[in-house]
Amino acid sequence: MNPTPQLSQKVNFCHAKCTEIAGSLRFPLGTTTAVLTELLHLVDRRSCNIDAAWRFLRSGAIMILPITDRDLPEVNRLMERYADRPMDFADATLVRVGSRHNLTTIFTIDHDHFETYRMERKRKFRIVPGR
């Protein structure tokens, strides 16, 4: 069985949900360089998609929040705590900056992970768009 049509349907569904909710978000959205690395690695390699990703990144809609040397021990602790998920470095940086900047809303389709992750004082993320 070829999973490509099913994957394509899921991607289109997620894109539609994200586009629908984007108008209600407060910009700029905070992210980390680790997340941008994943984005540019995972985006379809067709030049129109790469160009669209770069236009979005340069539009002012994204603010890069720094991860410094002082954050690394907490990022490491997070990755160890959620090793059974597993938590990757990009997700750990988002949880860290969320805790540091008191940001509780996250724009992601990665519900399975971010429903599990907790910030300091066991605070949960509010995930948009919803499932």
Q: Please, which pLDDT band fits residue 83 given cuts at 50, 70 and 90?
A: very high
Q: Is the pLDDT of residue 11 over 60?
A: no
Best CA proximity match to 74, nearest among 106, 97, 49, 56: 97
Provide the domain count of the chain: 1
Which domain CATH number covers 102?
Answer: 3.40.50
Task: Write the pLDDT tens digit of every residue in 29-64.
Answer: 999 999 999 988 888 777 778 888 899 999 999 999
HEC sequence for the chain: CCCHHHHHHHHHHHHHHHHHHHCCCCCCEEECHHHHHHHHHHCCCCHHHHHHHHHHHHCCCEEECCCCHHHHHHHHHHHHHCCCCCCCHHHHHHHHHHHHHCCCEEECCCHHHHCCCCCHHHCCCEEECCC
Q: Is the pLDDT of residue 80 over 50?
A: yes
| Host domain of residue 46 | 4-128
Task: Write the pLDDT tens digit of every residue in 98-115.
Answer: 999 999 999 998 999 999
Best CA proximity match to 101, nearest among 127, 131, 125: 125
